[in-house]
Amino acid sequence: MPIEGSDYFIYLVDFPDCRAGGMVTPNDDGTFSVYLNARLSRGQQLTSAAHERRHIAHDDFYRDADIDEIERQADALSPSR
């Protein structure tokens, strides 16, 4: 899912003590870094990448909203749900 006007970089990272599928952070230059759990299967990583890209596409980093609500909304936008 390309995101118009947004550049993002995906990294596989070992999350030894975390069950999270991934996380995303905004960078100072306007790009985003997406970190995916290297311990997950390829399919789970793709699902996590899509979830993190939804956060980018919906400007979730710049919203004043409860994090649990932001996560529920990102999950609800998933094509598989």
Structure confidence by residue, pLDDT tens digits, 14-54: 998 887 899 999 999 989 999 999 999 999 999 999 999 98
Q: Is 36 exposed, middle or buried (CB count within 10 Å of its CB: 0-12, 13-18, 19+)?
A: buried
The whole domain housing 50 covers 8-76
Helical H runs in 1-81?
A: 42-57, 67-76
Residue 1 falls inside a structural domain: no
Residue 1 has pLDDT above 50, yes or no: no
Q: What are the backbone dihedrals phi and psi of residue 54, each rounded to the nearest 5 degrees, phi first?
A: -65, -35
The answer to whether residue 23 is domain-embedded is yes
- pTM summary value: 0.77
Looking at the DSSP bridge assignments, the partners of residue 34 are: 10, 24
Pairwise pLDDT comparison (58 vs 38), residue with the higher score:
38
Contact assessment for residue 32 and residue 25, using Cβ atoms and an 8 Å cutoff: yes
Residue 26 counted as domain residue:
yes
Number of domains in the chain: 1
Whether 81 is in a domain gets the answer no
